[in-house]
Amino acid sequence: MQNTRFNTILEDVGDRTVQLINNPWRRISIVFIGLLLGFFLGSAIPSTTGQMSIWDVPAAAVVMLIIEGLSRFIYSRSRLVRSGITARRTFFLDAVNSIKMGMTYGLFLEAFKLNS
């Protein structure tokens, strides 16, 4: 590619994003924010759909199917072995996994609130 201004800006943005992700404190904070976002989604989705008292159980079932699909995707990819060493999980998979854990915890607490 030619060394244009736009290309230089895109390379700088990419380098800064990689530096942001590689910083351990920022990585932990983004994963923690993902956990809180998942908790919010796990408690908000069944609550809002449960207002009619018809859609709360199907909505929780759909959310659980999504959670199980994400679990299968995340944990099947971590078993890949490259040259005798297990592959390291990426930042994206860590963030998705924290959202998934938050959603599971939110659904768990919603079940306790509903005494079911």
What mean pLDDT do residues 6-18 have? 88
Q: Domain containing 31: what range?
A: 5-113
What kind and span of H or E run contains 82?
A: strand 81-82
The pLDDT, as a whole number, for residue 34 is 92
The pLDDT, as a whole number, for residue 86 is 56
Confidence of residue 52 (pLDDT cuts 50, 70, 90): confident
Count other Cβ atoms within 10 Å, centred on residue 107. 21
At position 38, the amino acid (one-letter code) is G
Which pTM does this prediction carry? 0.73
Count other Cβ atoms within 10 Å, centred on residue 113. 10
Average pLDDT, the chain: 82
Phi and psi at residue 45, in whole multiples of 5°?
A: -65, -50
Confidence of residue 39 (pLDDT cuts 50, 70, 90): very high
What mean pLDDT do residues 7-19 have? 87
